[in-house]
Structure 1
Amino acid sequence: MEEKIRSRLNEQIVAEAQQRYGIAPDKFEELGGFESFIYGYEKEGAQYVLRLGHSLRRSPGLIQGEVDWINHLAQGGAGVAKAVNSDAGNLVELIPDGRGEHFLATAFVRASGGSPWKNGTLTEPFMLNYGRLIGKMHALTKQYTLPNPVWQRPQWDAPNMTDTTSALPQLDPAVMVLVDKNLAYLRSLPTPPDAFGLIHQDAHTGNLFADEKDQITLFDFDDCVYGHFVYDIAMVIFYAITNHPQPEQFCQQIWPQFWRGYCQENDLDPIWLKEIHPFMKLREMDLYGIILRDIPDYSNDGWVAGFMNGRREKILAERPYINFNFTEMADDSQNS
């Protein structure tokens, strides 16, 4: 979190947020957070999450657009953490920070369950439900109408959504050339309404909980954008296989179930599956740039160190993130 935001939070602002949502101080706990301050609270026997973001990072309109879309998905039956009103009936509460800007308070139903990873893997029932969830979200987003143009979320390639464009030109210009090449290709893709719309963009297993029946609740929609549906799919697989000792074999295990579940909820032409690779490449290079910029010494972070091991050489060699034929495997899963 940027220091200019962190330094503006104080006890009075937190107390004001508690008051606006009718939260008893003894039913309130800090949960952490990366880009926002996250708290858990209990009210009338139910569990919720309070998020304090800031207008220096997201405008009130962007937050309104986020929570309106979330509640559209929830109303349609998708497993997402629904946004709830403040005591005044608002989905977004603006709290002055004393310096001319605002903290933006939003609250959500707290997801039940926990991490879906079991013994270092993901079960077939979970992957089937995972595919169903992403497919259902895409089917519902095709029915979504933006209530207010001020609430419109960014496009997937907006500058604030592609961190590499700010980090890499100075840190690694050779990789930046390949970033631009990949972005040019992705920007050339058509955007038909049956394959492009609002997407989560970061629907990995760290942003969801699964209960004992493998029912999933997805949260953290802070980065939702207008993008290709296959971008969402690519991010699911990207994070599932990253740092796995046998990524191709693991992908062969989880992909058919995911795609089968997806197709039960949404109709996406399989021709789009070949674009999983360039969208994976986008996230690979974006993550590489973020780490170079923000984590100069990552030797003590096992996940980051594993990802960065040989990463520059792999990017410069223009290798696919994973050697896997998603279209062929999709055909096999649908015919089985």
Structure 2
Amino acid sequence: MERVIRECYTDAILDEAMRRYGISKDQIRSLNAFESFIYEFEHGDGEQAFILRIAHSSRRSEALILGEVDWINYLAEGGVPAARAIVSERGKLVEAIEDGHGGHFLVTAFVKANGQPPWKVWSPGLYETYGEVIGRMHTLAKDYVPAQPALRRPEWDDALFEFPERYLPAFESLAKRKYGELCRQVNQLPKDRDAYGMIHQDAHGSNFFVDTAGRITLFDFDECAYSWFINEVAIVLFYVVQDAQDWPAFTRAFMGHFLRGYVRACPLDSVLLKEIPAFLKMREIELYAVLHRDFDVGNIDNEWCARFMQGRKASIEQDRPFIDFDFDSLAGLVLE
């Protein structure tokens, strides 16, 4: 989270957000978060938990957040397991609270997903379920039209997502140039309805829960945008491979199950599999940039982030594949 946002946030902002959603002090608790202030709260008998998210207008406009919740609720209504947004006491999906410095904190509430993160329950069957949920989302994306034109979410290359240009220091000019080359490369790909549409764009294991029956519920659609569906597949792989010992071997095993579930819900042109390395490298550079924003990169106190940054500069500058794997070899899974 950017320092200026943390400095604007006060207890009075939280109190006002709680008032607008009818939450008492004994019904709410803070959760760890990366880009926003996140809380869990209860209403009534406490049988259903909810999530309160407080974001700043310097990151997302009210229209963008309304576009996000329009997309989430469209998915939920279409049968995709997504944690739907709920209205405030005044019947609003987004509540704006002045921050006292010319900006606003934008408050949204969601039904809390059931279950737990997937880290301790990963299995081949869950990989397949994961793929099917992502595939169902992409199938619905093909027919999605925002409730109002003003609620249309941005394209993948909108200035909102230009993390390398915005956050990398001047001496990282080579990384910036390589990112620009990748963007120009992927921008030549087809953008027909079967290849391109709204995606979650951050559907990793910290953004969904799994219940005891193995059912997945997606949440945190803050990054959702129009992009290629194969980009979403690459982003999924980018994060899930991180804890594996043998990345190529894990990629073959994971993708075998994930794609089997995916194509059950959404067709995938096998020609696009060869584009996964470019999208993996783009996400690598994007995360590299975000960590430059959030940390002193010479002294990172987060174990996962510190591990990711080890050798990362050289990997990017020397064009090393993020995963050394022949993605064309997966074509048979898509064509089954």
Q: Which residue of 1 aligns with 2:213?
A: 213
Q: Distance in 1 between matches of 2:64 and 2:334?
A: 38
Aligned to 1:270: 270
CA distance in 2, matches of 1:26, 1:171: 49
Indicate the residue corresponding to 1:310 in structure 2.
Answer: 311
1:319 aligns with 2:285: no
Change (3 A) 1:22 1:169: closer
1:140-179 mapped onto 2 (5 Å cutoff) = 140-168=140-168, 170-179=170-179
State the shift of 1:4 in Å: 2.3
Determine if contact 1:167/1:289 at 8 Å carries over to the other structure: yes
Tell me if the contact between 1:159 and 1:165 (Cα under 8 Å) persists in the aligned partners: no
- The residue type paired with residue 226 of structure 1 is Y
The one-letter code of the counterpart of 2:317 is L
Q: 1:315 to 1:98 in 2, by over 3 A?
A: closer
Partner of 1:191: 191
Q: Is the 8 A contact 1:93 1:105 kept in 2?
A: yes
Are residue 60 (structure 1) and residue 62 (structure 2) matched?
A: yes
**Paired residues for 1:88-107 under 5 Å:** 88-107=90-109
Contact 1:298–1:304 under 8 Å retained in 2: no
In the alignment, which residue of structure 1 is the partner of 2:51? Answer: 49
Aligned counterparts, 1:75-154, within 5 A: 75-118=77-120, 122-154=122-154
Q: Distance in 1 between matches of 2:231 and 2:171?
A: 26
Q: Secondary structure at the match of 1:285?
A: helix
Does the residue aligned with 1:226 lie in a helix, a strand or coil? strand
Cα distance, 1:294 vs. partner?
Answer: 3.2
Measured against aligned partners, the alpha-carbon deviations of 1:115-149 in whole angstroms (never above 9, x if no partner) come to 21238xx3111101100110010011112111212
Report the Cα distance in structure 2 between the residues aligned to 1:4 and 1:106, rounded to whole angstroms: 21
Is the CA contact 2:273–2:330 (under 8 Å) kept in the aligned structure 1? no
Structure 1 stretch 144-153 or stretch 123-132: which is displaced more?
144-153
SS state at 1:129 partner: helix
1:2/1:24 Cα in 2 relative to 1: closer, same or farther (>3 Å)? same
RMSD after superposition? 1.7
Give % identity: 42
Letter in 2 for 1:172: E
The 5-angstrom pairing of residues 193-272 of structure 1 reads 193-272=193-272
TM-superposed CA distance for 1:208, in Å, is 1.0
* Gap change, CA 1:101 and 1:177, over 3 Å in 2: closer
Give the TM-score normalised by structure 2: 0.94
Equivalent position amino acid for 1:188 in 2: Q
Report the Cα distance in structure 1 between the residues aligned to 2:187 and 2:169, rounded to whole angstroms.
20
Normalising by structure 1, what TM-score? 0.94
1:132 & 1:267 partners in 2: Cα distance?
11
Deviates more, 1:163-172 or 1:291-300: 291-300
Q: Write out per-residue CA displacement over residues 170-204 of structure 1, whole angstroms, 9 at most, x where no aligned residue.
A: 13122222112111101222211111111111101
> In the alignment, what sits opposite 1:29?
29
Determine the C-alpha separation between the residues in 2 that align with 1:251 and 1:25: 46
CA distance in 2, matches of 1:265, 1:145: 20
Displacement of 1:219 in angstroms is 1.0
Any stretches of 5+ residues in structure 1 without a counterpart?
A: none
Change (3 A) 1:333 1:68: closer
SS across alignment from 1:40:
strand
Between the aligned partners of 1:300 and 1:52, the Cα distance in structure 2 is: 25
Specify whether residues 292 and 14 from structure 1 end up closer, same or farther in structure 2 by C-alpha distance, changes over 3 A only. closer
How many angstroms apart in 1 are the aligned matches of 2:302 and 2:57? 31
Alpha-carbon contact 2:129-2:258 (below 8 Å) kept: yes
Q: Where does the alignment leave 5 or more consecutive residues of structure 2 unmatched?
A: none
Distance change >3 Å, CA 273–CA 300, structure 1 → 2: same
What is the alpha-carbon distance in structure 1 between the residues aligned to residue 186 and residue 83 of structure 2? 30
Q: Could you tell me which residue of structure 2 aligns to residue 12 of structure 1?
A: 12
**Secondary structure of the residue that 2:96 maps to in structure 1?**
strand
Partners of 1:309 and 1:3 in 2: CA distance: 25
Q: Which residue of 1 aligns with 2:285?
A: 285
State the alpha-carbon separation in 2 of the partners of residues 63 and 3 from structure 1: 21
CA distance in 2, matches of 1:208, 1:281: 23
Moved more, 298-307 or 83-92: 298-307
DSSP 3-state at the match of 2:54: strand
Task: Give 1:71 deviation, angstroms.
Answer: 0.2
Deviates more, 1:281-290 or 1:45-54: 281-290
